[in-house]
């Protein structure tokens, strides 16, 4: 048991010597995300519009059928659409 603990201690002290700096990797990842962000933002806005359109059709269908939970549907689909339209703007501010 002592040997295993000593081996683990030696392993934990030697491992940081082989570690490489992660600053360049983070910088490269941020620049890659920055390059792809504009097309992704357009896709998210298109998905938000599609969710809003489908939600509007479902709300209209429930409203014409006289269902009582129309308000829940409006809040659910409206919230999802707003979320999909607003989040890209906040993420853009992080990578600007």
Q: For the packed helices 70-95 and 23-65, what is the interaxial angle rounded to 10 degrees?
A: 160
Q: What is the tally of structural domains in the chain?
A: 1
Angle (CA) 45-38-47 rounded to 5° is 20
Q: Which domain holds residue 57?
A: 2-95
pLDDT by position in tens, the chain (length 96): 888 899 888 888 877 777 666 777 778 887 888 888 888 888 888 887 888 888 888 889 988 988 888 888 888 888 887 887 788 888 788 766
| DSSP state, residue 66 | T
Answer whether 0.75 is exceeded by the pTM.
Answer: no
* Contact between residue 85 and residue 48 where contact means Cβ atoms under 8 Å apart: yes
Q: How far apart are CA 48 and CA 84, in angstroms?
A: 5
């Amino acid at each position: 048991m002592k040997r295993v603990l000593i081996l683990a201690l030696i392993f934990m002290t030697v491992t940081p010597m082989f570690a490489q700096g992660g600053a360049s990797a983070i910088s490269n990842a941020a620049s890659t995300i920055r390059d792809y962000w504009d097309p992704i933002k357009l896709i998210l806005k298109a998905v938000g519009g599609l969710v809003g359109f489908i939600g509007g059709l479902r709300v209209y269908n429930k409203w014409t059928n006289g269902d009582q939970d129309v308000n829940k549907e409006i809040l659910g689909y409206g919230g999802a659409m707003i979320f999909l339209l607003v989040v890209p703007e906040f993420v853009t501010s992080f990578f600007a």
